[in-house]
């Protein structure tokens, strides 16, 4: 029925929103790790240490 379709669509939307939120959180965590790595590399370069990554 039409009502069943609407309810199913609403559930799909909610599921999609939860999934998108989880992806946002993962992206944020990844971003923080990248920032920490960059800080480490910059610090090592400034101190004159050799780092595997080019300065």
Residue 13 burial class via C-beta count within 10 angstroms: exposed 0-12, middle 13-18, buried 19 and up: exposed
The tens-digit pLDDT sequence of the chain (55 residues) is 999 999 999 999 999 999 999 999 999 999 999 999 999 999 988 888 776 655 5
Which pLDDT belongs to residue 33? 96
Name the token pair of 17: 């929103």
- Token pair for 1: 């029925």
Kindly report the pTM of this predicted structure.
Answer: 0.55
Could you list the beta-strand ranges (E) of the chain: none
């Amino acid at each position: 029925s039409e009502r069943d379709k609407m309810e199913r669509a609403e559930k799909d939307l909610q599921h999609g929103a939860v999934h998108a939120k989880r992806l946002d959180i993962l992206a944020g965590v990844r971003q923080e790790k990248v920032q920490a790595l960059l800080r480490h590399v910059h610090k090592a370069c400034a101190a004159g240490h050799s780092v595997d990554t080019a300065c």
